[in-house]
Structure 1
Amino acid sequence: MLAVCLASSGAAVVGAGAAHAVDPDRLRPGCVWRTAEDQANHVQTCSWHSESLGREVTVQVRPSDQQPGQTERGVYFLDGLGSTPAYSSWSLPIAGAVQNYSPADNLVMPTGGSGEWMTNWRTAPTGAASAPQWETFLSSELPAYLYSNFDVGQHNNAIVGVSMSAAPAIITGLDHPETFSVMRAYSGYYETDNPLGWLAIPLIQISRSGITNGLWGMWGNPLSPDNNWAHNSVARRLLTQPAPPQTIIVSTGNGTLSPAEIDAQNAAMATIWREHPEQLPAFLLSSADGVLVGGALESAAFGSTLLLQAATTAVGLPVRYRYSSGGHNWLAWGDDAHADAQEVDAALDAAAAGTSTTSTQSPSVTPTSPTPSSPVSPANVERELSSLPTTLPAPVRDAVDTAATAIGSLAPHLAPAFTSAHR
């Protein structure tokens, strides 16, 4: 959207993005080393007053080690509901981003925004002084700041979201294809423009962030004719517009514990038993609660991802999908950080070279046309769910079969929704 933007200093800048010097350890103005570990990893924590958000914002940046004159690119990481204003969860070792992404990438990690869904609000959320414009910040103000201070180009970047920010990462990319050529989403919820979405998102905002006006304050009353709920529904957007020119990668766990999660639980339990045995009952109760809540959240993301894959595959959209075991937590999301980083970097390289990487996508996705052309119907969706690859892990495959059966039984009720979405 913006070939020319205003940097924080007010000077006009154009998105070229040539590196000036190899100096990832030079603190930029307004930036600090938050911890010794951050300094060792070259992660700067930078703060300034954001016009888009109406408040001070903090963004962590791991600059690249590019040679002078080389083109700079950024990978933007959006945090989830557990975000804090002090640091991004993506900067922590458990996420694996800093350790696994190429040193040629500038890693960009905004902080804060818990419950704000990384989107443009119509009115101020509960407790805020103004309506945050997160998409404007991510697509305009932040790229301008990064270009001015870190030489990061304003084209051919990646945007990555997890949980709360998974769908917004895709939406922001769809709205700004000149800025983002790769969108990566973990454990998100993609069919939001329906009564379930209207109910679930505000309830999550209330319970996790104390935001009580999300139903109407974020995208407008969903029953009003000028609301933005459809615009921010990934499923509806992908089914009603030409195929995007970008790479979209979507992944989810199935809600069951991954090996890494089981090992972590066992190690923690052994430590408690050895050092504080009196705390074991409380630990077990807390762990059970975490497993149940995380499993429920990830199961919902799993179901949403299955529906999205079935619908996009039915119309031939080359979206990549990844399935695994795991709950709704950073142990699961960071488990394949190395492979994830390589896939995003390869997609960025391909976009820069003007080539396609669709041959590396999930075997369940076979692009058949550049634009949605096949009719979207519950029958088509059920068929696509039933034909997902047998190479999926057994628990995932069982859940797919269950979802396919459920879709078939609900077909008469879903038909109007799918027909409306495809108009």
Structure 2
Amino acid sequence: MRLRGPISAAAMAVIAATVAVPAVADTPGVASAPPPAVDPAMTRTGLLSIDNVGPQRERLRISSAAMRRVIEVDVLRGTGAAPRPTLYLLDGVDGEATSGWLSKGGAAEFFADKPVDVVLTGGGTGSMYSDWVRHDTALGLNRWETFLTEELPPIVESLLRSSGRRAIAGVSMGAQAAMMLAQRHPGRYHAVAGMSGCYSTADPLGRAVTTITVASRGGNVENLWGPPTSPEWAAHDSLLGAEALRGTAIYLSAATGVPTGADLVAIAQSPTIVEALRLAGGGAALEAGARSCTERFAGRLIELNIPAAVHYDTAGMHTWPDFEAQLPQAWQTLAPALY
């Protein structure tokens, strides 16, 4: 396969240096918070409670037998009568208690008038939204693939009286995970969108991105899929597994690292000089790396003659204003596949 040749040292350096950027404010290699506590007695999956957050928003508390803890999930109910399709929207590496799509990415406002139910998980810090082979001291017990594909859908789609049509999308780490889950579960999702992500795991570039993504939040990457020689690394590689995406509507986007007007405003409004420099330098380099990753994956899809909508912005710095601006573009590809 032509696109899986050696990656230049310069490209590797950019990716390796920039994937860790979001952790600059923390101590490198140390988790910023204790890992979620594990409850050995939690052996059944089920809906524990529903809190009404707003007219169209609810927060669910779901017991996960896979992860032995309670996972909080936000739901944005769509307009019109059920049944409606479901969009699962994944966060980036920070994996905060409330998805950045809600707190920073404008998802609630964008989907307020759309006939689609949107499901957003909390947590997932540095997890790649994958099933880890071992418990991690810093990041805890992660069985996100099982939760997202087996435990969560029957609960939330029953509650919402879903139409059974699904899409999955994400940004940065969540972009890689969305593509990975769509590739590993052919036919489960009718559409997938990756914004500013990287999509390989088994080649030098993919190993570097994955390793540093996990390490940036204090995790040990060998607890993820084992050593790099493990077949699990190849099994999670969307370039290697791209054929499984045939028949799925695909959207990809990335920018250049050049700041937009919104980026400059965000930099100017940073609370400290350190934060401003982090946004200006780190965001630019990280988005440039995501652009390279996206071009490689788009090229692989072309080799396989698998259609994809690919959008390259001339400006954008891997910031939430940029991701928010990409959401309408992604929706143009996702929506036709859902109705």
Report the equivalent of 1:378. none
Give distance in 2, aligned partners of 1:59 and 1:285. 32
Compared with structure 1, are the counterparts of its residues 339 and 127 closer, same or farther at alpha carbon in structure 2 (3 Å cutoff)?
Answer: closer
The one-character-per-residue Cα deviations of 1:173-209 (angstroms, maximum 9, x if unpaired) are 12323331010111111122123332332223222x1
1:19-168 to structure 2, matched below 5 A, reads 30-33=49-52, 38-40=53-55, 42-67=56-81, 70-85=82-97, 87-92=98-103, 94-101=104-111, 102-127=113-138, 130=141, 132-153=142-163, 155-168=164-177
The one-character-per-residue Cα deviations of 1:82-121 (angstroms, maximum 9, x if unpaired) are 2212x111123x4122222343211100110110100111
Give distance in 1, aligned partners of 2:245 and 2:329. 26
Tell me how far 1:316 sits from its aligned partner.
1.8
Give distance in 2, aligned partners of 1:73 and 1:243. 20
Give distance in 1, aligned partners of 2:179 and 2:109. 24
Residue pair 2:48, 2:63 contacting (<8 A) in 1 also: no
Report the equivalent of 1:237. 241
Tell me how far 1:242 sits from its aligned partner.
5.5
Give distance in 2, aligned partners of 1:129 and 1:264. 33
Residue pair 2:87, 2:168 contacting (<8 A) in 1 also: yes
Residue pair 1:252, 1:302 contacting (<8 A) in 2 also: yes
Compared with structure 1, are the counterparts of its residues 128 and 96 closer, same or farther at alpha carbon in structure 2 (3 Å cutoff)?
Answer: closer
Tell me how far 1:126 sits from its aligned partner.
2.3
Provide runs of 4+ in structure 1 moved above 4 Å: none
Tell me how far 1:71 sits from its aligned partner.
2.7
Report the equivalent of 1:183. 192
SS in structure 1 opposite 2:124? coil
Letter in 2 for 1:303: S
Report the equivalent of 2:260. 258
Give distance in 2, aligned partners of 1:204 and 1:29. 32
SS in structure 2 opposite 1:334? helix
Aligned length: 294
Residue pair 2:139, 2:218 contacting (<8 A) in 1 also: no
Report the equivalent of 1:210. 218
Which has the bigger relative contact order, CA under 8 A and spacing at least 6? 2
Report the equivalent of 2:300. 311
Give distance in 2, aligned partners of 1:54 and 1:312. 38
Report the equivalent of 2:21. none
The one-character-per-residue Cα deviations of 1:323-379 (angstroms, maximum 9, x if unpaired) are 111011111100243343343222322xxxxxxxxxxxxxxxxxxxxxxxxxxxxxx
Give distance in 1, aligned partners of 2:320 and 2:196. 11
The one-character-per-residue Cα deviations of 1:251-286 (angstroms, maximum 9, x if unpaired) are 1111111222124445x38xxxxxxxxxxxx84443
Tell me how far 1:72 sits from its aligned partner.
2.4
Residue pair 1:186, 1:250 contacting (<8 A) in 2 also: yes
SS in structure 1 opposite 2:318? coil
Compared with structure 1, are the counterparts of its residues 230 and 283 closer, same or farther at alpha carbon in structure 2 (3 Å cutoff)?
Answer: same
The one-character-per-residue Cα deviations of 1:57-91 (angstroms, maximum 9, x if unpaired) are 01000123332xx4321110111112212x11112
Residue pair 1:168, 1:232 contacting (<8 A) in 2 also: no
Report the equivalent of 1:381. none
Q: Which runs of 5+ in 1 are unaligned?
A: 1-6, 10-27, 270-281, 350-423
Report the equivalent of 1:223. 229
The one-character-per-residue Cα deviations of 1:121-165 (angstroms, maximum 9, x if unpaired) are 1111223553x2211111111111113322224x32110111111
Match of 2:283 among 278, 290, 294: 294
Compared with structure 1, are the counterparts of its residues 203 and 52 closer, same or farther at alpha carbon in structure 2 (3 Å cutoff)?
Answer: same
Report the equivalent of 2:327. 337
Q: TM-score, normalised by structure 1?
A: 0.65
Give distance in 1, aligned partners of 2:266 and 2:208. 34
Compared with structure 1, are the counterparts of its residues 265 and 222 closer, same or farther at alpha carbon in structure 2 (3 Å cutoff)?
Answer: closer
Identity of matched residues, %: 24
Tell me how far 1:230 sits from its aligned partner.
1.1
Report the equivalent of 2:28. none
Report the equivalent of 1:201. 210
Residue pair 2:256, 2:316 contacting (<8 A) in 1 also: yes
Report the equivalent of 1:328. 318
How much is the aligned-residue C-alpha RMSD, in angstroms? 2.3
Give distance in 2, aligned partners of 1:183 and 1:222. 27
Residue pair 1:171, 1:232 contacting (<8 A) in 2 also: yes
Report the equivalent of 2:19. none
